[in-house]
Amino acid sequence: MSFETISVIGLGYIGLPTAAAFASRRRQVIGIDINQGAVDTINRGEIHIVEPELDRVVKAAVEGGHLRASTTPVEADAFLIAVPTPFKGEHEPDMAFVQAAARSIAPVLKKGALVVLESTSPVGATEEVAACLAALRPDLTFPQQVGESADVNIAYCPERVLPGKIMVELFKNDRVIGGMTPACSARASELYKIFLEGECVVTNSRTAELCKLTENSFRDVNIAFANELSLICDQQDINVWELIRLANRHPRVNILQPGPGVGGHCIAVDPWFIVAQNPAQARLIRTAREVNDSKPHWVLEKVKAAVADCLMATGRQPESIRIACFGLAFKPDIDDLRESPAMEVAHAIGQWQRGELLIVEPNIHHLPAKLADKGRLVGLNEALEQADVLVMLVDHQAFKAIPGTDIKQPWLVDTKGVWR
């Protein structure tokens, strides 16, 4: 059996599901992470992240003896690097974790091994990993030196799974395989076919790198279009939700939905990687990022205007006005608050407002530290009964279940078109 042992470096939202997927096909998988807490949790058969179905698959893999975690890399037939690539400074990709991962596997690389980079990366990152490994292991040959006959094969294979549906999409989605040589692509395809039900589509590493960035930039640009429309409609006193519904009846128009901004760890980050490498060419991609990033500030101004209106109409003091924010997560029906525009809006309201701030987020039990001294986590009904100004930020099912006709407050800033 080829690829008897597989090592996954980085046991986060991508690495852990991928490790579990290989283990579910009875390969010996060793997951490596610098976080001792995560390693201990996984070795107990538990998980440290929230993702439907993942707990069950990891538990079975650990109990069946196919998956174990460690902080130190060991020899394997294939290494997958799935560590974070955040940005630093002026939206430049920070490749420090990828470089550290490459350095950490260099001592345990053997002839015949395959190295796959999965982390979202700027164009050329795979070649940089290859250069780093070649410098550290002069006793082995690499694709950039000898092409097809290299001792170590190297490929870039991005993930494209949707958080919340990872354990379905990981198996079903087609996979782009960007080998440094055709032999590298063939080996990487062979690896993913261990669990993949979708197709492996082969290209070179640079195209695969840009493909991942392109997918998320495409979505960002399309959401920016919807967000820009929401500003135009507000100016023209037109209901943007109705407008989009009508325009989408055209057979070749499919506009996405506006919101308080774009969150998550990918769509709001990856387009900057293209901009950083191609500042003169990537004008539309940059502008889309700016449009989406500016939306939370626009929402704050709308809230300020609603409060001013409320004060005028009621003659009350600002300290007596209660604002309620509905939703904190970065998208509906998840508990993930990281990089969330709803969090950004709620925090900005908390900084600005003089009265009480109520927060409704059915998917969490405690407010994050950043909001804890600014707001109070309450139930949906309590907020609807007590608040003067309502701010709808995330279209969770629980909120959509309340008909708009039940909303009594005239001061409503509805960024998701749930109640208005």
Mark the segment that binds ligand SAJ (CB under 6 A) among 83-91, 147-155, 159-167, 175-183: 159-167
What's the closest the beta carbon of residue 330 comes to ligand SAJ, in angstroms? Answer: 5
257 or 278, CB closer to ligand SAJ?
A: 257
What's the closest the beta carbon of residue 262 comes to ligand SAJ, in angstroms? Answer: 4
Q: Does 162 bind ligand SAJ (CB under 6 A)?
A: yes
What's the closest the beta carbon of residue 334 comes to ligand SAJ, in angstroms? Answer: 8
Quote the CA–CA distance of 214 and 260 in Å, as a whole number: 23
Q: Which residues in 306-345 contact ligand SAJ (CB under 6 A)?
A: 330-331
Q: Does 161 bind ligand SAJ (CB under 6 A)?
A: yes
H-state helical runs in 64-159: 96-105, 125-136, 143-146
215 or 234, CB closer to ligand SAJ?
A: 215
160 or 206, CB closer to ligand SAJ?
A: 160
Q: Which of 263, 260, 264 is nearest to 391 (CA)?
A: 260
159 or 388, CB closer to ligand SAJ?
A: 159
Per-position x/- string for 255-274, each x denoting binding to ligand SAJ as judged by CB under 6 A, each - no binding: -xx-x--xxx-xx-------
Three-state SS letters, 168-219: HHHHHCCEEEEECCHHHHHHHHHHHCCCCCCCEEEEEHHHHHHHHHHHHHHH
68 or 160, CB closer to ligand SAJ?
A: 160
Q: Considering 157, 184, 266, 325, which one is annotated as catalytic?
A: 266
Quote the CA–CA distance of 143 and 134 in Å, as a whole number: 10
Choosing from 190, 215, 293, 333, the residue that interacts with ligand SAJ (CB under 6 A) is 215
355 or 368, CB closer to ligand SAJ?
A: 368
Q: Let me know if 266 is a catalytic residue.
A: yes
Q: Does 216 bind ligand SAJ (CB under 6 A)?
A: yes
Q: List the beta bridge partners of residue 177.
A: 202
Quote the CA–CA distance of 289 and 293 in Å, as a whole number: 6
* Residue in the structure block whose two tokens are 């701010």: 391
Q: Does 160 bind ligand SAJ (CB under 6 A)?
A: yes
What's the closest the beta carbon of residue 185 comes to ligand SAJ, in angstroms? Answer: 21
Helix (H, G, I), strand (E, B) or coil at 68: strand
Q: Considering 184, 200, 212, 331, which one is annotated as catalytic?
A: 212
223 or 378, CB closer to ligand SAJ?
A: 223
Q: Does 418 bind ligand SAJ (CB under 6 A)?
A: no
> Which region, left, alpha or beta, applies to residue 229 given φ > 0 means left and ψ of -120 to 50 means alpha?
alpha
Structure tokens at 117: 């980079």
Q: How many residues bind ligand SAJ (CB under 6 A)?
A: 19
What's the closest the beta carbon of residue 229 comes to ligand SAJ, in angstroms? Answer: 12
Q: Does 223 bind ligand SAJ (CB under 6 A)?
A: yes
Quote the CA–CA distance of 248 and 317 in Å, as a whole number: 44
Sequence-ordered list of residues with C-beta below 8 angstroms from that of 270, at least 6 positions apart, any chain? 120, 212, 213, 216, 217, 220
What's the closest the beta carbon of residue 164 comes to ligand SAJ, in angstroms? Answer: 7
Quote the CA–CA distance of 362 and 38 in Å, as a whole number: 26
Choosing from 25, 48, 193, 219, the residue that interacts with ligand SAJ (CB under 6 A) is 219
Mark the segment that binds ligand SAJ (CB under 6 A) among 44-52, 148-156, 157-165, 275-283: 157-165
Q: Does 346 bind ligand SAJ (CB under 6 A)?
A: no
Residue type present at position 80: L
Provide the pairing of β-strand 200-204 with 175-179: parallel
Quote the CA–CA distance of 272 and 83 in Å, as a whole number: 18
Q: Let me know if 184 is a catalytic residue.
A: no
Mark the segment that binds ligand SAJ (CB under 6 A) among 70-78, 155-163, 307-315, 359-367: 155-163
Q: Which of 197, 119, 131 is nearest to 156 (CA)?
A: 119
Helix (H, G, I), strand (E, B) or coil at 114: strand
Choosing from 10, 73, 163, 179, the residue that interacts with ligand SAJ (CB under 6 A) is 163
Sequence-ordered list of residues with C-beta below 8 angstroms from that of 357, at least 6 positions apart, any chain? 322, 323, 324, 325, 346, 349, 350, 374, 375, 376
Q: Does 417 bind ligand SAJ (CB under 6 A)?
A: no
Answer yes or no: are the C-beta atoms of 12 and 82 closer than 8 Å.
yes
Structure tokens at 14: 């991508």
267 or 413, CB closer to ligand SAJ?
A: 267
Residues near ligand SAJ, by CB under 6 A: 159-163, 215-216, 219, 223, 256-257, 259, 262-264, 266-267, 330-331
Catalytic residue annotation: 212, 266
